[in-house]
Structure 1
Amino acid sequence: MQDQDKGSEIKTKPSKTRNLFGFFAFAFTVIAVTLSLFQLYSAGIQPFSAIYQRCIHITLIMTLAFLLFPATKKASRQKQDIYFYIDLLLIALVFLVGGYIIFYYGEIIERQGDWTTIDVIFGLVTTFLVIEACRRTIGWVMVIICLSFIVYAYFGPYMPEFFAHKGYSLERIFTLLYLTTEGIYGLPLGVAATFVFIFVLFGSFLQKTGGGDFFINLAYALTGRMTGGPAKTAVLASGFMGSVSGSAIGNVVTTGSFTIPMMKKLGYKPHIAGAVEAAASTGGQLMPPIMGAGAFLMAEFTNTSYLYIIKVALIPAIMYYVTVLFFVHFEAKKMGFLGLPGDQLPRIGETLKNGLHFLIPLGILIYVLVRNFSPMMAGFVAVVATFLAAMIRKRSRLSLRDVIDALALGGKNAITVSAACAAAGIIVGMVSLTGMGLKFSSMVVSISGGVPLIAIILIGLASLVLGMGLPVTASYIVLVILAGPALIEMGVALITAHMIVFWYSQDANVTPPVALASFAAAGVAGANPMRCAFSSWKIAKGLYIIPIIMAYQPLLLNGPFWEVVRTIVFSTLGLIAFTAFLEAYLFHRTNIIEWIFMGVAAFLLLLPSLYTDLIGVVLFFGVIFTQKLIWKEEWNGLPGLQLSKKNLADAFQGRLKVS
């Protein structure tokens, strides 16, 4: 009852956004549609130079943010109060400082280094606007981090000796942030204003045409009859949806609205149903081709092709989902949950017949990427292909109103990630200016003694702290610019170091006390938010193990073929064994001896040695043997077995029924 009460509190708490109506609702839609059309135009027809692309993008994004997100909890969500008119003033400032860049950037470049008072003032105003937009959309943690780095840049001479530097004037700080591509208009915003937005728009069109429903129904048809079917459907549907949306919370509110009630109906406790959905949805940011903003940021940071990033990311993502699937399976077997009857599930033939055309855009997207087109062009083609594919069937055909809604939804969905990336540009700029990244990396190397495993554990702990208040994209950027170089200095490959940091940054979705995806799932499930968060944290333990495998074994296809195959096979067995160890269940509940053997098997299978792998396999299959052949719910004997009844009873805790 308490869980339900807590769930009700979540559902009824005041909305974070305004309920716009009348002229301002119309204005919001026009601006969001304009942003989407601008992004489509620049992606597929006429690219803009970096500074103009990023400036126009963030100008429209901040306008949407100040219209939609009020300044305080006291501000009205329903009417135009004093806070609303203050926000209109902020929007005017947004257009003023944005217009200054757009119309006068040629002159600004000519006098580079000889900054005017207007340059400095507008730099200060822009920094304030970006931080304020970030505060409203993300929260105070990112704001505090940004301000801390600005303070660090200014008061460098007064810092502790290890972190001290010469210090920089306010003029230098704010002009770097505002008038160059090394600050607010830097790489993170560049990724958000190009690759990320176009794929967010792709997801919006797929959602509007009914493609999301098709993937959910397909998952139901494939897994619904299995043991724990609805939970496996949640995992599979989140994998399908996550592969194109790349948003954990987006997955929770779309697939979760179907899968969580079905899991509860089958008998799963509300907090477990929500936890399964949150953990599965977190995998959406790991699964190619979209991976949230991560794949695009990683490609830019490492100067690597986007196609290569998604190629090496695929196998670890699948392994993560295998871990979640086996957790769901063991939980269902332990609780005695069967699948759903066939008459409650969509037929796979009918599902494919009604939605097969939604696979066309995905196929075209993959083809265009393989042909080495830019991700922007690939996203543009995918959006157009989705629109055209939807026209094939009457039920998915888009009207003009639907197209406008999809364009507006794309603009709205991009607000948070773009605000986070703009604020992250402040951090990147200050780190670059002061050399903080090298100092921090040196500290990590010193503390870890040059041992990569210790450094990875430190990064994991840092991700826990950052994950309590930052979204995934921001957490990844902060971690990778501070700690990434330390891993590289210890001999970890560039791509591997970035992938490790990116995986650990996913904790932002499932880490208590601020686990956004888990809380969203708790709201849908009517569960206690903290119980849901801790349960999803447990289910998502693959987030911690798989990055360590990446560091010590060729999981990212960075080794000889058979070595890669061995790593994939034995590591997957190790993850399954680890899940069985956590759940104390395989085919039946494990006794203490089996449980210990399973834990040892998991540990050995995850070590980077063929010898330990072989010993681990023997232990793992030994437990399978005892569970399947030696003891069952009813003991029927085993020919040739030379064990006394007393030995068996002692060994298996008296759980055998000896005839």
Structure 2
Amino acid sequence: MTSNAKVAERGVTIARKLAEEARTGRVQRGISKIVITTVAVCWSLFQLSIASWLILDSWYIRAVHLAFAIFIVYASFTMFRKPRLGIRYWAATDRVPVLDWVLALAAAAAALYVVLDYRGIISRYGAPVPRDIFMGFLLIVLLLEASRRAIGPALTVIATVFTFYAFFGPYMPDVIAFKGVSMNRFVGQMTMATEGIYGIPLDVSATIVFLFVLFGSMLEKAGAGQFFIQLALSLLGGHKGGPAKAAILSSGLIGMVSGSSIANVVTTGTFTVPLMKRLGYSPTKAAAIEVAASTDGQLAPPIMGAAAFIIAEYVSVPYIEVVKAATIPAFASYAALLFISHIEASKLGLQGLPREELPPFFKTLFGGLQYLIPLGMLIYELVVFRHTPQMSAFNAIWVLAILMVAQPCLRAAQAKQSIGAALKKGLLDILAALDAGARNMVSVAMATAAAGIIVGVVAMGLGGLVNQVVDALAGGNIYLLLIITAIASLIIGMGLPTTATYIVMASLTAPAIVTVGGSYGFEVPLIAAHLFCFFFGILADDTPPVGLAAYAASAIAKSDPIRTGLQGFMYDIRTAILPFMFIFNHDLILYGVTSWFQGLLIFAMACLGNFAFAAATQGWFIARNRIYEVPLLLGVTPIMMRPDLIAAWSGLDYGHRHWMYLAGLALFGFIYLVQKLRTSKHPAQ
């Protein structure tokens, strides 16, 4: 093996280790591996049961869901990443210390307390006895520690600050003073009601998100990830900057079902980043393109990661309405990233891969059509039948399970090998997928449960105060309020998974955006405010200095992680402008749009507006931009994305806003012709 190959292999190993550390903290072996795997598989089977035949009270479901998750955290994640005070016991990665087994059992028991004494808790609702207070307090403490282990200290710190604020609010300065709560009320609402830990976020995690994460794990185990990569390469690999475009397409396809930026990077990046480097992309840019593509995978309908399901619950709309609202911003963002990869290839004078090195399209497509069956069924159930997300995911899962068993058996029959061995492999793959799906859900369950503490404090009466404080900070200016929300989302999201970032910011700022907008004459649909928080929570995944997706990609590309994160964020600026646009132009989220023709027109113009913005920020359109061309390109963006504003400035009424698209097309065409003439006379420019 050459030295370059060894370096590349080490990079892939490091990236996979980062992803594995994000998913599970210890190297498991022996009895601990058997116990944890058994618990994980039982968790998956429980979730499949409540989606099909097992009928339980929603409070039971949430408690059992949390108990499984918190047990796995204490059994899988070390207390510290490195030995403290010279004691290796706290950071043991080769075994599960006795203390962690005790904490795992205690945490699971505390989570299940509402199930074990359900009738008693209901009968004394609002008047908890000392035992209730003790078990509730124990759950809060162990949940915060489990959250710290599984997803880092940020959410634990924020939840702790909110907890202290709930008690010490009366002693704060007048501007942020809060009436405060008693211990009985705090613990009761957090652990013995459905407004705190057992609130809507945990309910969505338990009833919907788990099934979609499990579906993604099974699809990956069946081999769909490699199929998507090969299919993307066969389609786009031969074009200018082909490997980069293939990375974007495959990351979008995988991101639809994985919902995890870092898992997406490791799945697609191990294959596409070396190809991009070989073609001529610098290590930093190759890694940054993969990061930007993988991060935006959570925007891609129909699955959109865990937070999209919580949006549907918070806004009280069918999930399909969330998908509809996110469709144009998500696909316009991906189209612009494809354009950026084309720009980068043009700057460097790169071409595509030789056709003989690419997989044949039709052979690749027909060789993996089976992977499209469960995915197609999921989309069909969601969009056509309008079944609930739970039913849609469950039906897609059992179809996928049949596929995972049938696929190796058919291959064995064709190769005249043992069908019994193939059947065993298929069943083992299903068990491995059940295990992986549960482990992948741990961080989501911890995020939704711990964020429930913040939501619970806000529900105690802090929400009105937050609105007043945010309004005061923004000075009643809706634009400043949006900027504050965006920056806060990026900062908080550096240390939190997307789901937790969204829950925190949506609880604090989404109502304020709607309220402040309404007070100044802007009608902001609630779903637009929630999507705004969701988009910036996703963008935080590649924001330096913490973005794990950037660290994973830089390990594969052997690039500097900070520079990779900065470059990835520069690529993601084209996504960052979209929320600011759809807050005011509701056409972009198809709010009130029922015509297919109008929807497609809006999508096409949004793409062109995003292309113009990308060209301006990247310094290149079809040639290097001249200084005077940058403001012209930036001018195309609002014309295409805010035609209502331009129409108002032009004296036209709202109903004629789409005529502004002609002005945008004319300006964009003019810039194209100017650069085309320049390149024809001076090709080097």
Give the TM-score taking structure 1 as reference length: 0.91
| 2:38 aligned with 1:30 | yes
CA contact (8 A) 1:7 1:529 kept: no
CA contact (8 A) 1:274 1:518 kept: yes
Show the counterpart of 2:268: 255
Q: Which amino acid aligns with 2:510?
A: G
Aligned counterpart for 2:448 among listed residues 418, 421, 444: 421
Aligned counterpart for 2:403 among listed residues 372, 389, 402: 389
Q: Distance in 2 between matches of 1:291 and 1:634?
A: 45
CA contact (8 A) 1:509 1:517 kept: yes
- Deviation track 1:315-353 (CA, whole Å, cap 9, x = no partner) reads 211001011111100001110111111222111111112
CA contact (8 A) 1:438 1:485 kept: no
Aligned counterpart for 1:572 among listed residues 607, 611, 628: 607
Q: Distance in 1 between matches of 2:260 and 2:143?
A: 22
Show the counterpart of 1:598: 633
Q: Distance in 2 between matches of 1:349 and 1:22?
A: 45
Show the counterpart of 1:518: 550
Show the counterpart of 2:65: 57
| 2:337 aligned with 1:324 | yes
- Deviation track 1:230-269 (CA, whole Å, cap 9, x = no partner) reads 0001100011111111211111111111111111111111
Show the counterpart of 2:392: 378
Show the counterpart of 1:555: 588
Q: CA deviation at 1:399?
A: 2.1
Q: Which amino acid aligns with 1:220?
A: L
Q: CA deviation at 1:530?
A: 0.2
Q: How does 1:216-615 map to 2 (within 5 A)?
A: 216-369=229-382, 370-393=384-407, 394-395=410-411, 399-433=426-460, 435-489=461-515, 490=517, 491-553=523-585, 554-560=587-593, 561=595, 567-608=602-643, 609-610=646-647, 613-615=661-663
Report the more deviating stretch, 102-111 or 623-632. 623-632
Q: Which amino acid aligns with 2:49?
A: Y
Cα pair distance change 1:602/1:304, threshold 3 Å: closer
- Deviation track 1:32-61 (CA, whole Å, cap 9, x = no partner) reads 000000000001222321111011111111
CA contact (8 A) 2:243 2:276 kept: yes
How many pairs align?
Answer: 632
Cα pair distance change 1:144/1:76, threshold 3 Å: closer
Q: Which amino acid aligns with 1:628?
A: K
Report the more deviating stretch, 496-505 or 163-172. 163-172
Name stretches of at least 5 consecutive residues in structure 1 with no aligned partner: 636-654
Cα pair distance change 1:368/1:604, threshold 3 Å: closer
CA contact (8 A) 2:474 2:480 kept: yes
- Deviation track 1:127-180 (CA, whole Å, cap 9, x = no partner) reads 011101100111111111101111111112112223323211122211221111
Q: Distance in 1 between matches of 2:30 and 2:598?
A: 63
Q: Which amino acid aligns with 1:426?
A: I
Report the more deviating stretch, 319-328 or 542-551. 542-551
Give the alignment's Cα RMSD to 1 decimal. 2.3
CA contact (8 A) 2:535 2:579 kept: yes
Q: Distance in 2 between matches of 1:543 and 1:588?
A: 23
| 2:665 aligned with 1:617 | yes
Q: Distance in 2 between matches of 1:255 and 1:10?
A: 15
Show the counterpart of 1:79: 94
CA contact (8 A) 1:156 1:165 kept: yes
Q: Distance in 2 between matches of 1:404 and 1:390?
A: 11
State the identity as a percent.
39
Q: CA deviation at 1:23?
A: 0.5
CA contact (8 A) 1:54 1:193 kept: yes
Q: Distance in 2 between matches of 1:444 and 1:96?
A: 39
Match of 2:27, SS state, is coil
- Deviation track 1:590-613 (CA, whole Å, cap 9, x = no partner) reads 233333432333354443324665
Q: CA deviation at 1:542?
A: 2.5
Q: Which amino acid aligns with 1:555?
A: L
CA contact (8 A) 1:360 1:389 kept: no
Q: Distance in 1 between matches of 2:44 and 2:257?
A: 18
Q: Distance in 1 between matches of 2:198 and 2:79?
A: 24
Q: Which amino acid aligns with 1:622?
A: F
Q: Distance in 1 between matches of 2:133 and 2:112?
A: 15
- Deviation track 1:478-510 (CA, whole Å, cap 9, x = no partner) reads 111110011111230111111111111112211
Q: CA deviation at 1:515?
A: 1.1
Show the counterpart of 1:639: none
Q: CA deviation at 1:564?
A: 5.0
| 2:680 aligned with 1:632 | yes
Q: CA deviation at 1:304?
A: 0.5
- Deviation track 1:429-483 (CA, whole Å, cap 9, x = no partner) reads 11101x2222222233344344432221121111122122111111101111110
Aligned counterpart for 1:212 among listed residues 225, 238, 255: 225
Name stretches of at least 5 consecutive residues in structure 2 with no aligned partner: 84-89, 412-421, 518-522, 651-659
Q: CA deviation at 1:76?
A: 4.3
Q: How does 1:51-130 map to 2 (within 5 A)?
A: 51-72=59-80, 73-74=82-83, 75-80=90-95, 84-130=97-143
Match of 2:239, SS state, is coil
Q: CA deviation at 1:78?
A: 4.1
Cα pair distance change 1:35/1:586, threshold 3 Å: same
- Deviation track 1:271-292 (CA, whole Å, cap 9, x = no partner) reads 1111101100111111111111
CA contact (8 A) 2:155 2:496 kept: yes
Show the counterpart of 1:650: none
Match of 2:368, SS state, is helix
Cα pair distance change 1:270/1:315, threshold 3 Å: same
Q: Distance in 2 between matches of 1:209 and 1:70?
A: 31
Match of 2:117, SS state, is helix
Match of 1:632, SS state, is helix
- Deviation track 1:376-402 (CA, whole Å, cap 9, x = no partner) reads 111111111112234453359752211
Q: Which amino acid aligns with 1:511?
A: T
Q: CA deviation at 1:10?
A: 5.9
Match of 2:303, SS state, is coil
CA contact (8 A) 2:12 2:270 kept: no
Cα pair distance change 1:129/1:166, threshold 3 Å: same
Cα pair distance change 1:165/1:443, threshold 3 Å: closer
Q: CA deviation at 1:371?
A: 1.4
Match of 1:44, SS state, is coil
Aligned counterpart for 1:181 among listed residues 194, 203, 212: 194
